Every structure is written in C-alpha cells, then in structure tokens.
Amino acid sequence: MLKNSVDFRTMPGISLLRTALTAVLALALCCVGAPFGTSAQEQQPTLQDIAARDGLIAAQESLLNAYRCRFDIDTIVVPGGCTNGAPAVASDPAPPFAGPASWSELTRRDQLVLSQESLLNTYRCRFNIDTEVVPGGCTDGRPSSLPARPPSCDFAEHAASAVDAVWQVQAGQSLGTAFHMGSAADRAWWLTAEHVVRGSQTVVLTHSGARRSARVVTADRAGDIAVLSTAIGPEPALEFGGLSSAAPGSAVYLVGYPLYAASTPAVSRGIVSRLLDDPALGRVLQTDTSASPGNSGGPMLNACGKVAGMVVSKASAQGAEGINYSITEQALEAALAEAQADPDQEPAAPAPAKPELGEGAPDRGEWQQSQYDDGNDYLWYIAYKDENSGGAIVYEFPCSEDYWSIAFWTSEWSAGAFLGRGYIRIWNDTAPNQAILYRANLTQHFADGTSRFVLRQEFADSSSDSLSASYRLYVELLDVRQVRGALLTAARSAESDRELQEARNRTRRTVSC
C-alpha cells in the first residue's frame, strides 16, 4: 500500500464532485439490481428512474476523470485531456433520455454503475484516497471485496409464466411461435418472426386448446420482425431486460414449438456464444440452444425469464451444429413501440417475388423490381439467360445505393458448402486458356433452391469498349474449395454489350425504385 495518504477533500476541483457523488451513492445502493428482483406484476420503470441512473453515471465519470488527471493514469480516455492535474474541459451533460423507459435500459445502466464503481474503488485503494467509502476497505492497494452483483435467478421459477406467454402462430401452412408482450391501446401485443407470417394480414394463435385471431400490424422483412395484436386475454406477458446479462457462457432458454403443431411449447436450454453484427439483421445473439423449424419467432430468455432476443434462424451450412441466431431486444423494443404508436396501421403490401430462373421466367432485357430474401429492394435486369435454362446473369441495382452488382443465379448447384464465399471462373470460346478467377459473395437456400453469386461493381460514366466479334461466354461457379457447382453458358456480342451499357446508364440516371 502507498504510505503517503492524500486528503481527497483538499484536491482542487474534486471536493464538490465527492459531495455530489456521496449524495447519489445511496441511490445506487438501493436501486442497482432492482430490475432483476422485480416481478412481472410490479410497475414498469419510468423516465425518472432512467434519469436517476444517468445522473449517477455522469457523477461517477466526472470523479473518474478527476482521479485520472490528478494521478496521471488512463488520461487518454479523459475528454479534452488534462491540464495542471485536472480535466481541461468540463464534461458535457448527457442529453435527456427520450424513452421509452424499459427494463433493458434500466439494467444496462445498473451494470455500468457497478462497473464504474468498481473502477473508482480500484483507484481509491491504489492511491490511498478516501478508502473509508470502499466496501470492505483495501488490502495491499486493492479492494478487499468484490463489488455487489445482482442476485442470480433460477429459470425454473419463471418457466411456468413463460410457457403461458408463448403461443403457436399459424399463417396458412406456416407454423411458428409468438410471445405476448403486454397490453396497450386496448389490445394485447405479440412478437414473432416476419418470415412466419409473410404475406398474411391475419393469423391464428393457439395454446392448450385456446384459439385467438391476431392481426399483423407491422411486418419488417429486412429485420424479420412482425408485431401482432389481439383482444386482451388472461395470459401473462413477458418483459424485456435479458440482454444485459447475456454474456458469453451465460445460460439462455428458448421457448417455442419445434417441428410440429403442439398444445403447449417446449423449453430448451443453451448458452450464449457471442454477440455479432449480421449484414442483413444487424446485431444478433448467437447461442447453441436447440432450435428447429417451428421455433422461429420464439423468445430467447435469460435465467430471470426476461427477453434477450427472438430466434429467427439457424446455421444451415454443411457440418454446422448448435448455431442459431436471435434478433436482440433493442430491435424488438423499437418494432413494438412503432406498432403501438399507430395500432391501426396496415402492414406494407408483400414484396414481389425475386427473379425466377426456369420456364416462365422473365426474358433477357426485361426490367423487374423485387425484394430479395436479404430484405433489400432491387431493380434487376436479365443480361443473359443460361442456354440450358439452369441459370441467368442478372444486373442488380440496390435501391438508393450508388453501386450495382453482377449476379450469377443457378438452380442446379451440385457442389458442397461454401460458407458465404465462393469463386467464379469466366472464359470464352475464343481464348479458352485465358480464364479469369474472381472471389464472390454467395447466398444460397432461397425458397426455390437458387444459389446466387455476386460481384459488386461501381458505376462509370464512360462506356466500356466492347469486342466486335461474337463469342460464347462460359461462367463456372465454384464453392469455397473451388469445386464446380454449376456451369452457365451464353452468347455474347457487341450488340448485347451496348444494350447492357444502356441499362446501366438508364438505371444510374432515370430509373428509381
């Protein structure tokens, strides 16, 4: 331990901070961890609760920065740096939280309070400052005891309520899972996966012989979230707030209806693998919980029965096991709030189908607009059709984007797994030994079994030079191990090149989605 004791109260610019922090520490001690022990029947958090936490966090951060400057430690994180042993600039007040107040927002702040208080106590013990406020005191320059943690939960105590809040959803021939998130605007609100109810305006919810009609209020295809409303019933409601405790290795529980129609849902247990960013869905929670068709739209809960996410997909690559993905609670909260703000809105019309490849598909040179399975809207143009009707070369123009793509579609894929990447080898019959190999992004497992290889392109104002001679174009589509999965052939000419250049120019300048 350092022998020279420093009187915290005599340090310039810090005494007022300590006074303010002492006043709010009582709040921290009485409030931190409250959401974890609050029952579903108790009152929801308010904006005042959020503001109180934000005030405490700001006071902690100010004191941390004062320590950093006074003792020349971790000064790189001090906004504006330090001058003469003190922060060079005053901290800007955080803008007030605009809401809505939720358990997830509250618990996220509680976790930050605990983390910052732990760091404050580390500084206090290391520099022998006001060690009397450190719980348990200091030993050898370190806090003697660990900071308080929220009480742990046993999911078995919450399972019955969770099972009663989760119903099976049927939309035509599609079966999935939906879960109840409470009442507002004189109706009950439910969440499910958009792909479960796609194309439907009304669906049916069932549980233990009960049956209820539900209306699709919003359906976000890109985010794969649908919000349903029903008449208010007696079933319990789930609550958000599970993501803050969803650290890698922590237990999670999936409630849903795997595989078949059933009277009541099943519960499966797993662990959190990681949080990651998905290019289509945004922030997602990866877990190893057992998930099967029918689980889509089911809640992923923490041990306290709080919603951490909603399962929407599982890894389908060859050899992939125990990998599924859930949309996180922040996206679910936003979708629910949007639907409740306008409860009588009509869901957007179903998007038109994506390009087809077989008999009856659009002809070469035709324009179409569609929403693909990645949730994005595209204008697309058939550049070439495979001479054997097994695929097409498509020019794709994502709406509101300043780039385009050459996509190679095939319905006759015969190679193995590709894990999102593959290769394209292109040559022509006038120079068969001069093939060019490209690495491409791949998507597969579309509803019709189509595989799609994509090469992103940038727009150019000048026309590219075209060969005057006609020739046959060969496109070999390869998996990640460069094993052939399909071969496309098409006749190319100077005339077709001019048509394609006109298509690019037209799309850039005059065609809008």
DSSP letters spanning 459-500? --SSPPP--SS-EEEEEEEE-TT--EEEEEEEEE-HHHHHHH
DSSP-derived 3-state class of residue 191: strand
Mark whether 192 and 336 lie in a shared domain.
yes
Rounded to whole angstroms, what are the CA distances from 355 to 123, 394, 478? 62, 9, 21
Q: Decide if 451 is inside a domain.
A: yes
Residue pLDDT tens, the chain, 513 long: 333 333 333 343 344 344 434 434 434 444 444 443 343 334 567 888 888 888 888 888 889 889 989 998 888 778 878 889 899 888 777 778 876 777 767 777 887 788 788 889 889 999 998 888 888 889 988 888 765 555 578 999 999 999 999 999 998 878 899 999 999 889 999 999 998 998 888 899 999 999 999 999 999 887 889 999 999 999 999 999 888 777 788 899 999 998 766 788 999 999 998 887 765 567 788 899 888 888 999 999 999 999 999 998 765 444 456 688 899 988 999 999 999 999 988 766 655 555 555 555 666 767 776 666 666 677 777 888 888 767 888 888 776 666 778 888 887 776 665 556 788 888 888 887 888 888 888 765 454 567 788 888 776 544 444 445 677 888 888 877 788 888 888 888 777 777 777 766 665 444 445
The DSSP secondary-structure symbol of 402 reads: S
Number of H helices, E strands in the chain: 8, 25
Q: What is residue 5's predicted lDDT score, i.e. its pLDDT? A: 32
Q: What is residue 359's predicted lDDT score, i.e. its pLDDT? A: 52
Q: What is residue 166's predicted lDDT score, i.e. its pLDDT? A: 97
Assign 3-state DSSP to the chain and report helix, strand, coil percentages, each to 5: 25, 35, 45
Q: Decide if 359 is inside a domain.
A: no
- How many whole angstroms separate alpha carbon 207 and alpha carbon 137? 55
Domain that holds residue 252: 155-341
Q: Which residue has the tokens 């499910």?
A: 192
Q: Decide if 16 is inside a domain.
A: yes
Contacts of 41 (CB under 8 A, 6+ apart): none
Looking at 306, 341, 376, which one is the last position of a domain? Answer: 341
Rg over CA atoms, the chain: 29
Mark whether 311 and 167 lie in a shared domain.
yes
Q: Decide if 329 is inside a domain.
A: yes
Mark whether 172 and 138 lie in a shared domain.
no
Q: Are 313 and 355 in contact, with CB atoms under 8 Å apart? A: no
Mark whether 160 and 132 lie in a shared domain.
no
CATH number at residue 321: 2.40.10.120
Extract the tokens encoding 431.
């120079």
Extract the tokens encoding 251.
């237990």
Q: Decide if 263 is inside a domain.
A: yes
Q: What is residue 337's predicted lDDT score, i.e. its pLDDT? A: 92
- How many whole angstroms separate alpha carbon 497 and alpha carbon 429? 17
Mark whether 394 and 500 lie in a shared domain.
yes
Mark whether 185 and 275 lie in a shared domain.
yes
Mark whether 174 and 139 lie in a shared domain.
no
Q: Decide if 285 is inside a domain.
A: yes
Q: Can you list the pairs that 5-10 forms with residues at least 24 positions away whose Cβ atoms lie under 8 Å?
A: 5/128, 6/127, 6/128, 6/129, 8/129, 8/130
Looking at 115, 143, 171, which one is the last position of a domain? Answer: 143
Q: Which residues in 190-217 are b (16+ Cβ under 10 Å) and which e?
A: bbbbbbbbbebeebebbbeeeebebbbb
Q: Decide if 360 is inside a domain.
A: no
Q: What is residue 378's predicted lDDT score, i.e. its pLDDT? A: 76
Mark whether 335 and 418 lie in a shared domain.
no
Domain count of the fold of the chain: 3
Extract the tokens encoding 8.
């915290």
The DSSP secondary-structure symbol of 353 reads: P
Mark whether 160 and 115 lie in a shared domain.
no
Q: What is residue 187's predicted lDDT score, i.e. its pLDDT? A: 94
- How many whole angstroms separate alpha carbon 267 and alpha carbon 163? 8
Looking at 143, 170, 188, which one is the last position of a domain? Answer: 143
Mark whether 79 and 119 lie in a shared domain.
yes
Q: Decide if 287 is inside a domain.
A: yes
Q: What's the pTM value of the predicted model, to 2 decimals? A: 0.50
Mark whether 296 and 163 lie in a shared domain.
yes
User: What is the DSSP track for 267-302?
Assistant: EEEEEEEEEEEETTTEEEEEE-----TT-TTPEEE-
Mark whether 398 and 324 lie in a shared domain.
no
- Other CB atoms within 10 Å distance of the CB of residue 144: 14
- C-alpha 171 chain-centroid distance: 24
- How many whole angstroms separate alpha carbon 443 and alpha carbon 418? 9
Q: What is residue 274's predicted lDDT score, i.e. its pLDDT? A: 84
Extract the tokens encoding 165.
């809040």
- How many whole angstroms separate alpha carbon 426 and alpha carbon 473? 7
